[in-house]
Chain A
Amino acid sequence: MTAETQSATQTSEQLDLQMLVETIPAMVVCALPDGSVEFANRAWQEYTGGSLQQLRGSGWQAAIHTDDVRGFVEEWNASLTTGKPFAAEARIRRADGQYHWFLIRKALAISPNRGSDSSLRTLIACEDIDERKQAEVRLQQSEIQLHAFFDNSPSMIFLKDREGRYLYANREFKRVRRTTEEHIDGKTDNELFPAEQASVFQASDRQVLEAGVPIEFEHVTVQNDGQHTSAVQKFPLFNADGQIYAIGGIVTDVTERKREESARRYIEENHRLIVETASDAVVSMDDTGAIRFANPATMRIFGYDPTELIGKPLTVLMPEFMRKMHDTGFRRYLASGQRHINWQGTELTALRKNGEEFPVEVSFGELTRDGHKVFTGFIRDISARKHAEERLRASERTLRELTETIPQMLWSAEPDGAIDYCNQRVLDYTGLSAEQVRGAGWMKTVHRDDIETMARAWTAAVSSGEPFQQEFRCLRAADRAYRWCISRALPLRDQSARVIKWFGTVVDLHDWKEAQQALQMSQAELARVSRLTTMGELTASIAHEVNQPLTAVTNNGSACLRLLANRNLDPEVLRRALEEIVADGTRASAVVARIRAFIKKAPAEKSELDINEVIQEVLALAGHDLGKNGVSLECQLTTTLPLVRGDRIQLQQVLLNLIMNGMEAMTGVTVQPRALSLESRIDESGNVLVVVRDSGTGIGSEADRLFTPFFTTKAKGMGMGLPISRSLIESHGGRLWATANSPHGAVFSFTLPAAGESPS
């Protein structure tokens, strides 16, 4: 258009200039040599909406955007002074106030009066370049945006020409390479990277150039902070002729992503492994209620192969009665989010493939994926636990039944001694209610005389934690009679040995105690019979013991009578004789008393006594027999023995039995001397030990049978002496045993607890 205008004006007349200008469809301004406007064509006037007068001089410049005026005027002035072609871009205000970009330039200089500078007219054409300008701005903006994108990209982005020279590198590239644009532009990889790396890059560049398609690969580099993995994309850039003129590259450091990926894969693998190897069945269901996944444990628990479950409704794993409930609850949940059961550890009934129902504990989880809900259930077969619980309950029931049906009274107490439970037997026996027995209420049933000892014993046990045992008389409701009972209790302790409970029993001993007394009586009777037998064997000795003083009495009496008959009345002689009579009479009666005591029928009566005294008393009875049988007696009695608690007669009996046995065992002995020794001392345990040794025929292989009733080695023996002796010693809390003597004979020993110890 401009060229057209130029050629037209060159051929037209000066006067026709204005008309010519008017015909140009572009906006044209005619300027005088001083720069002022002579006139503007209609297009200009129409565009700017201004009159010609307003434009005259430099007034037209008012239509130019204030931001552009300064540049425009400078350019204009420069053109005027230098005469160089004038061109400027500026926004010109339209009549409606909007600005449009125009390219304003000198189109034609006309000199109507040749040679006169003042007649020189310059036509200035204003070409509307607004659209191009707008496009330029948009392009610029887009370029800025691209740069922004590139520079803000976490990837390195670059452009190289076919020769491998860098045309562009983004900020990340420069950051990573620690360099600036100047250092990169026009450089090749050889100059920027180590040779090895550079050759790798160039190889891939060649690949792109040859194939003409984008390629992707991963590249590993070592940077200051360690090994980095990069995802590299390279692609060709084509020109209008379809020729590759450049290679673009995007290098993304995926080290972190790789690491995250690996971690995620690890976690996923872990989860998968957990699910696969879980002993619980893990079943996932989608929001249609269909099974989407089942782990191997499902096979073991339900009997289904996991694959055959896929797509089936979850309800196949439920017994009939639960299915509807599940469906309803599930639908309601999907609709309202309202759960119909607890999702954590709910106990339900499940159905195996073989139709067997079994108890399970189920926990659910929910996950939304792609807008769809997935539910995963962890199903644990608790049949075994249920069985165990059932067994435990049964065992508890049995135990409770046992405590209630056992024919014994049971109770328990708090650590402070307060009764907190007793079984029905106690209530039946005492006639009290459970409430009445509680605490210390049970004391009401204890006999008045036993309350104090009972309370003391229980308090002592509770404060020391020692086992409790006490006999007491308890009032039996049935016959309102006090009966002997024994209560025992043991503490239950926690791990720190603190008493947390007492468990006790009460046993009615009354009948047993009576039976025991009867038994004691018959034992005593048997012992007495045995003593009588022993006495029978001792008659000669006893007769001798009694007859000696009697002989002395009669001798003295006879002598006195003879003196009287002869009227020989020396008072001193008579007095002495009578004194002796009295003394011997007393002596005889003492012997008789001792024998009577020995064979009298009396219950055992224990008192504290000196065993050496008992030994002496027995020797007084049997000593003579020893002498008669030519047995020498040796006594080693420890004088400082503790007292023992026992029945004197019974202990005499035992000793007498052992002495007589020893003596009899020696009657057949002629070769070696007949020696019997008696020893008393304290043994290692602090008990009083009495040992009777003989040098007789010994016990040989009969040792075991010696204490068997009716076993005897004697022609006339009853075989009860040793069994009775042993039972007597044992009733004293002691022991009686036999061993062989060296070189001949037997040793019989017995122990008795020292009286200081608690009597058992």
Chain B
Amino acid sequence: MTAASLVFVIDDDQSVRSSLKFLLSTVGLQAETFESADSFLHRKPADVPSCLVLDVRLPGLSGLDFQRELATRNIYIPIVFLTGHGDIPMSVRAMKAGAVEFLTKPFRDQDLLDAIRVALDRDRARREQDKEMADLRQRFDSLTSREQEVVSRVVAGMLNKQIAAELGTAESTVKVQRSRAVEKMQAASLAELIKMIEKIKAPSEKAS
């Protein structure tokens, strides 16, 4: 399907790793396999949509511990958990921590592929969101500090006159600065500008 995506597989069992890679290849998914969590951490982060297929029972760090570890490192990668035995408390914890899916070995191939697709989609969406936010922030950063002050007061719902009074400037000046900010932010309207600024101000509402 989408060549520009990558599936990371971490399993201590060589057969499982190679068979997964083979299966994913049949649906055009490129996979990279790792024997342990550590070896995965040594790889530089991928710049394409990717996801992690992780065995819960890993030598050394367990799967769930690894999930927590990634979070503390601000690595946001969707995880599909595999387990040898249905362990409900474990799966609940994993799902709460944001796992995409929790599959019991052996699983139906389609279930895994579906979970991987969901995970990749989620990662792709996150990546697009991250990119949009980065653009907005870049544009916002291109505003002068006076323009940023004005814009933030506009978003807060203040009138031009009020803003001018507060900043000790003329109302006409505030109007010019506001229209320049709309232009710089490439907003179609004042309403769109307000939306953009609100996105920037609350960036961590949706993590992944």
- List the interface of chain A (C-beta within 8 A of B): 539-540, 543-556, 558-559, 562-563, 566, 568, 577, 580, 583-584, 587, 624, 627-628, 630
Question: Does B23 contact A548, Cβ atoms closer than 8 Å?
Answer: no
Tell me the smallest distance from the CB of B75 to a CB of chain A, in Å: 22
**Contact flags B29-64 to A (C-beta < 8 A → 1, else 0):** 000000000000000000000000000011111100
**B164 in contact (CB, < 8 A):** no
CA distance A479 to B118 in the complex (A): 82
In chain B, residues 154-202, which have Cβ atoms closer than 8 Å to a Cβ of chain A?
none
Q: A559-B19, A562-B109 are in contact. List 17 more A-B contacts (CB 8 A).
A: A544-B84, A548-B105, A552-B19, A553-B19, A555-B16, A555-B109, A556-B23, A558-B23, A558-B108, A559-B25, A559-B26, A559-B109, A566-B26, A577-B19, A580-B18, A584-B19, A628-B62
Chain B residues whose C-beta falls within 8 Å of the C-beta of A555 in the assembled complex? 16, 19-20, 22-23, 106, 109
**Contact flags B54-79 to A (C-beta < 8 A → 1, else 0):** 00011111100000000000000000
Chain A residues whose C-beta falls within 8 Å of the C-beta of B15 in the assembled complex? 548-549, 552, 580, 583-584, 587
CA distance A544 to B58 in the complex (A): 11
Chain A residues whose C-beta falls within 8 Å of the C-beta of B13 in the assembled complex? 548, 551-552
CA distance A584 to B19 in the complex (A): 10
Of B19, B25, B59, B82, most A-chain CB atoms within 10 Å: B19
Question: Does B22 contact A547, Cβ atoms closer than 8 Å?
Answer: no
Question: Does B109 contact A547, Cβ atoms closer than 8 Å?
Answer: no
Question: Does B85 contact A627, Cβ atoms closer than 8 Å?
Answer: no
Tell me the smallest distance from the CB of B198 to a CB of chain A, in Å: 44
Tell me the smallest distance from the CB of B83 to a CB of chain A, in Å: 8
Chain A residues whose C-beta falls within 8 Å of the C-beta of B87 in the assembled complex? 540
Q: Which of A540, A554, A558 contacts B85 (CB 8 A)?
A: A540
CA distance A284 to B87 in the complex (A): 114
Contacts A558-B23, A630-B62 hold; do A553 and B18 have CB atoms under 8 A apart? Answer: no
Chain A residues whose C-beta falls within 8 Å of the C-beta of B25 in the assembled complex? 559
Chain A residues whose C-beta falls within 8 Å of the C-beta of B62 in the assembled complex? 628, 630
Tell me the smallest distance from the CB of B97 to a CB of chain A, in Å: 18
Question: Does A554 contact B26, Cβ atoms closer than 8 Å?
Answer: no
Closest chain B residue to A577 by CB distance?
A: B22
CA distance A627 to B57 in the complex (A): 8
**B27 in contact (CB, < 8 A):** yes
**Contact flags B103-117 to A (C-beta < 8 A → 1, else 0):** 001111100000000
Chain A residues whose C-beta falls within 8 Å of the C-beta of B58 in the assembled complex? 627
Of A546, A556, A558, A587, most B-chain CB atoms within 10 Å: A558
Contacts A554-B109, A627-B60 hold; do A547 and B26 have CB atoms under 8 A apart? Answer: no
Question: Does A553 contact B106, Cβ atoms closer than 8 Å?
Answer: yes
Chain B residues whose C-beta falls within 8 Å of the C-beta of A544 in the assembled complex? 57, 84-85, 105
Chain B residues whose C-beta falls within 8 Å of the C-beta of A545 in the assembled complex? 84
Q: Which of A540, A558, A580, A630 contacts B109 (CB 8 A)?
A: A558
Question: Does B57 contact A554, Cβ atoms closer than 8 Å?
Answer: no
Closest chain B residue to A623 by CB distance?
A: B59
Question: Does B16 contact A552, Cβ atoms closer than 8 Å?
Answer: yes
Contacts A562-B26, A627-B59 hold; do A543 and B85 have CB atoms under 8 A apart? Answer: yes
Chain A residues whose C-beta falls within 8 Å of the C-beta of B12 in the assembled complex? 627
Tell me the smallest distance from the CB of A554 to a CB of chain B, in Å: 4
Chain B residues whose C-beta falls within 8 Å of the C-beta of A568 in the assembled complex? 26
Q: Does more than half of chain B's interface fall in helix, strand or loop, or is it mixed?
A: loop
Of A540, A553, A555, A568, most B-chain CB atoms within 10 Å: A555
Chain B residues whose C-beta falls within 8 Å of the C-beta of A553 in the assembled complex? 19, 106
Tell me the smallest distance from the CB of A174 to a CB of chain B, in Å: 137
Of A554, A587, A624, most B-chain CB atoms within 10 Å: A554
Question: Does B22 contact A550, Cβ atoms closer than 8 Å?
Answer: no
Question: Does A551 contact B57, Cβ atoms closer than 8 Å?
Answer: no
Question: Does B22 contact A543, Cβ atoms closer than 8 Å?
Answer: no
Chain B residues whose C-beta falls within 8 Å of the C-beta of A628 in the assembled complex? 57, 62
CA distance A442 to B15 in the complex (A): 69
Contacts A552-B13, A555-B109, A559-B19 hold; do A539 and B57 have CB atoms under 8 A apart? Answer: no
Contacts A547-B105, A548-B84, A548-B105 hold; do A562 and B27 have CB atoms under 8 A apart? Answer: yes
Question: Does B18 contact A551, Cβ atoms closer than 8 Å?
Answer: no
Tell me the smallest distance from the CB of A571 to a CB of chain B, in Å: 15
Closest chain A residue to B12 by CB distance?
A: A627
Give 19 pairs: A residue, B residue, CB < 8 Å, sorted on A: A547-B105, A548-B13, A548-B105, A549-B15, A551-B82, A552-B15, A552-B19, A554-B106, A555-B16, A556-B19, A558-B109, A559-B109, A562-B23, A580-B19, A583-B15, A584-B15, A627-B57, A627-B58, A628-B57
Question: Does B106 contact A547, Cβ atoms closer than 8 Å?
Answer: yes
**Contact flags B93-134 to A (C-beta < 8 A → 1, else 0):** 000000000000111110000000000000000000000000
CA distance A65 to B9 in the complex (A): 181
Question: Does B26 contact A551, Cβ atoms closer than 8 Å?
Answer: no
Chain B residues whose C-beta falls within 8 Å of the C-beta of A627 in the assembled complex? 12, 57-60
Closest chain A residue to B62 by CB distance?
A: A628
Chain B residues whose C-beta falls within 8 Å of the C-beta of A539 in the assembled complex? 85
CA distance A583 to B15 in the complex (A): 9
Question: Does B107 contact A554, Cβ atoms closer than 8 Å?
Answer: yes
Tell me the smallest distance from the CB of B90 to a CB of chain A, in Å: 10
Chain B residues whose C-beta falls within 8 Å of the C-beta of A554 in the assembled complex? 106-107, 109
Chain B residues whose C-beta falls within 8 Å of the C-beta of A551 in the assembled complex? 13, 16, 19, 82, 105-107
CA distance A552 to B108 in the complex (A): 12
CA distance A216 to B82 in the complex (A): 145
Q: Which of A543, A548, A562, A577 contacts B16 (CB 8 A)?
A: A548
Chain B residues whose C-beta falls within 8 Å of the C-beta of A624 in the assembled complex? 57
Tell me the smallest distance from the CB of A539 to a CB of chain B, in Å: 7
Chain A residues whose C-beta falls within 8 Å of the C-beta of B84 in the assembled complex? 540, 543-548
Q: Which of B26, B61, B105, B108 contacts A563 (CB 8 A)?
A: B26
Tell me the smallest distance from the CB of B133 to a CB of chain A, in Å: 38
Which 10 interchain pairs have the tightest Cβ spacing?
A544-B84, A558-B109, A555-B19, A552-B15, A543-B85, A562-B26, A547-B105, A552-B19, A559-B23, A551-B105
Closest chain A residue to B17 by CB distance?
A: A552
CA distance A545 to B15 in the complex (A): 12
Tell me the smallest distance from the CB of A419 to a CB of chain B, in Å: 68
Closest chain B residue to A629 by CB distance?
A: B62
CA distance A566 to B25 in the complex (A): 12
Contacts A547-B105, A548-B15, A548-B105 hold; do A559 and B57 have CB atoms under 8 A apart? Answer: no
Of B13, B26, B108, most A-chain CB atoms within 10 Å: B26
Question: Does B22 contact A556, Cβ atoms closer than 8 Å?
Answer: yes
CA distance A545 to B13 in the complex (A): 10
Chain A residues whose C-beta falls within 8 Å of the C-beta of B19 in the assembled complex? 551-553, 555-556, 559, 577, 580, 584
Chain B residues whose C-beta falls within 8 Å of the C-beta of A580 in the assembled complex? 15, 18-19
Tell me the smallest distance from the CB of A446 to a CB of chain B, in Å: 59
Closest chain B residue to A549 by CB distance?
A: B15
Of B16, B59, B84, B87, most A-chain CB atoms within 10 Å: B84
Of A549, A559, A627, most B-chain CB atoms within 10 Å: A559
Tell me the smallest distance from the CB of B17 to a CB of chain A, in Å: 9
Chain B residues whose C-beta falls within 8 Å of the C-beta of A548 in the assembled complex? 13, 15-16, 84, 105
Tell me the smallest distance from the CB of A9 to a CB of chain B, in Å: 190
Closest chain B residue to A576 by CB distance?
A: B22
Chain A residues whose C-beta falls within 8 Å of the C-beta of B18 in the assembled complex? 552, 580
Question: Does B85 contact A547, Cβ atoms closer than 8 Å?
Answer: yes
CA distance A558 to B112 in the complex (A): 11
CA distance A35 to B109 in the complex (A): 202
Chain A residues whose C-beta falls within 8 Å of the C-beta of B85 in the assembled complex? 539-540, 543-544, 547
CA distance A544 to B18 in the complex (A): 17
Chain A residues whose C-beta falls within 8 Å of the C-beta of B57 in the assembled complex? 540, 544, 624, 627-628
